[in-house]
Structure 1
Amino acid sequence: MTALPATIDRLGIPGIVDVHTHFMPEPVLAKVWKFFDGVEARTGNAWPITYRGDEEARLEQLRGFGVIAFTSMLYPHKPGMAAWLNGWAADFAARTTDCLQTATFFPEESAGADVAAALESGARVFKSHVQVGAYDPRDPLLDPVWGQLEDAGTPIVIHCGGGPDAGAFTGPGPVAEVLRRFPQLQLVIAHMGAPEYSEFLDLAEQYDRVHLDTTMAFHAFMEQLAPFPVAERQRLVALGDRVLFGSDFPNIPYPYDEAVAAVVDLDLGDDWLRAVLHDNAARMFDFERAGRRPSD
């Protein structure tokens, strides 16, 4: 962790913007942690939760890493959850001024109204988890969702890659079809699209509002499961204004500084690194490099 202040100072940024952190109602988070606790029995690969403290402890830790803005990524796995989660997230953002108010949705009759209400309440970023939700992003029930978010220009961090376990609707195909219909959607492809890195880079090159987040990518833990192709690194340079830092805090099986170091160690230059750790997200969420809080 001691390397983080030096990196921040060297780059001349006020801090890190982490677009992929998880804060959610405690009973929901407990179920998420229970899932990860069972990973070793299912796969043989342990996934310890490194930051398993209470909410206040986790907030203090995240800020201690030099993070000046973050999200509360949360997601439903069945109908009827989204509105409740959005209400909790709005309250969390109201009492946590450095959190970018986050919302979510599910393919159900109320989806359009749920998103409209979340936008009205101040949601600045949405989370879509195609794998956990086990839904098709092309579902007609989501048409009013994509339409509203395209019109609003609100980013959607979407877990749609096939890692760690492929689902019926993961992979670049379904998302590509959504983008053909809603080409101005500001999608942020979580985990760089692992393991279909190249295909999601293709989508980012085709659609100029598609971004990618670095969550867990490039770290040795992920490299063992789904290595990022070395030959594709130069494409990251060309897309340097559309790569955002994400960590998956607190649900990562290694220290936070290693998540940052994995990105630093790509050695793609300070301009690229400055953009990824701060400037791209600061521009996306429209707050200044001087360190203005996301709620100001």
Structure 2
Amino acid sequence: MTADATDSRQNAEAAATRELWRGLGLPGLIDVHTHFMPDNVLRKVWAFFDALGEGVWPITYRLGDEERVALLRAFGVRRFTALAYPHRPHMARWLNAWSADFAAQHPDCLRSATFYPEEGAADYVSDAIGAGARVFKAHVQVGGYDPRDPLLSGVWGALADSGTPVVVHCGTGPQSGRFTGPDVFAEVLREHPRLTAVVAHFGSPEYTEFMDLALRYERVHLDTTTVFTRFTERTAPFPAAELPRLADLREKILLGTDFPNIPYPYSEQLRALRDLDRGDDWLRAVLYGNAARLFDL
């Protein structure tokens, strides 16, 4: 595709996205699940998706940092995150330093941080919170760690005590890990019931079990990342019988997209949520209001 064609497509995409949230009377969107990370790390993430095979999971927004920031702003995203996650020890501090610098240069990015089960994790997490981190990311499958690891007890405790949200990828989709699944993370919540957790991807494919946890624990939320889209419905469809429960969870659901690592246009996520036909008040809460309240924006 030529540069002109790409620009034209992205302009149309931005116009369609703005039309949707403006039609709801919103000032824009808040996306709690977007990724910005050091270039060498992001390229490894993209290489993982490329290795799945041609056309399996194409990266729609394979652009530089500033181009991606500009595109989110064109979509009307008022606040976004820079979620990064380590896959080995001695990596989290470096990622946190990079993320802090990125947020300092981009004030509409919620300062993001992460952690790994290692000596000193509770200390650097507390330091990051004290320095202004607004949201953390934990990726149980990629990290390959047990979230119940004693080395993380102080981390979960610091997050719970401060009320700092943590986006946790702990469902078994799209690939399971040794410690993914609702039962494992339920044990973390039993030990830290005041943890402000945002379960990534709505807990896919264990939607029912993670919705149960969100209703059981006051501070547990769910993000919409990739869920309800045609892409995900092919492999991990949301159970139709559970759709009425979305009303009960209206204040617990936050917009997330996985931008830029998505195999379809950004507006596809918004259209999928709109097409659930849960009502304008529900959609306004999910696209903006719930995150605005959670992050005190």
Do they fold alike, i.e. is TM over 0.5? Answer: yes
1:169 Cα deviation (Å)? 0.3
Q: What's 1:205 paired with?
A: 215
What do the CA deviations read for 1:49-99 (whole angstroms, capped 9, x no partner)?
000111111111111111110000100000000000000000000000100
What are the equivalent positions in structure 2 for 1:111-190 lying under 5 Å apart? Answer: 111-190=121-200
1:3 Cα deviation (Å)? 2.6
Q: Secondary structure at the match of 2:30?
A: strand
Q: What's 1:82 paired with?
A: 92
Distance 2:101 2:43 in 1: 19
Gaps of 5+ in 1: 288-296
Moved over 4 A (4+): none
Q: Which residue identity lines up with residue 14 of structure 1 in the other structure? A: P
What do the CA deviations read for 1:121-170 (whole angstroms, capped 9, x no partner)?
11000000000000000000001001100000000000000001111000
Q: What's 1:92 paired with?
A: 102
What do the CA deviations read for 1:184-241 (whole angstroms, capped 9, x no partner)?
1010000000000000001011111100000000001111110001111111111100
Q: 2:34 aligns with which of 21, 28, 36?
A: 21
Q: Which residue identity lines up with residue 264 of structure 1 in the other structure? A: R
Q: What's 1:243 paired with?
A: 253
Distance 1:243 1:112 in 2: 28
Distance 1:205 1:286 in 2: 22
Is 1:4 paired with 2:4?
no
Distance 2:202 2:163 in 1: 21
Distance 1:28 1:166 in 2: 21
State how many pairs are aligned.
284
Distance 1:10 1:64 in 2: 16
Is 1:260 paired with 2:250?
no
Distance 2:243 2:167 in 1: 22
Q: Secondary structure at the match of 1:266?
A: coil
Distance 1:152 1:234 in 2: 33
Distance 2:93 2:123 in 1: 9
Distance 2:61 2:19 in 1: 23
Q: RMSD of the TM alignment (CA)?
A: 0.9
Q: Which residue identity lines up with residue 68 of structure 1 in the other structure? A: R
Q: Secondary structure at the match of 1:40?
A: coil
Gaps of 5+ in 2: 1-12
What are the equivalent positions in structure 2 for 1:272-291 lying under 5 Å apart? Answer: 272-287=282-297
Q: Which residue identity lines up with residue 36 of structure 1 in the other structure? A: F
Q: Which residue identity lines up with residue 48 of structure 2 in the other structure? A: F
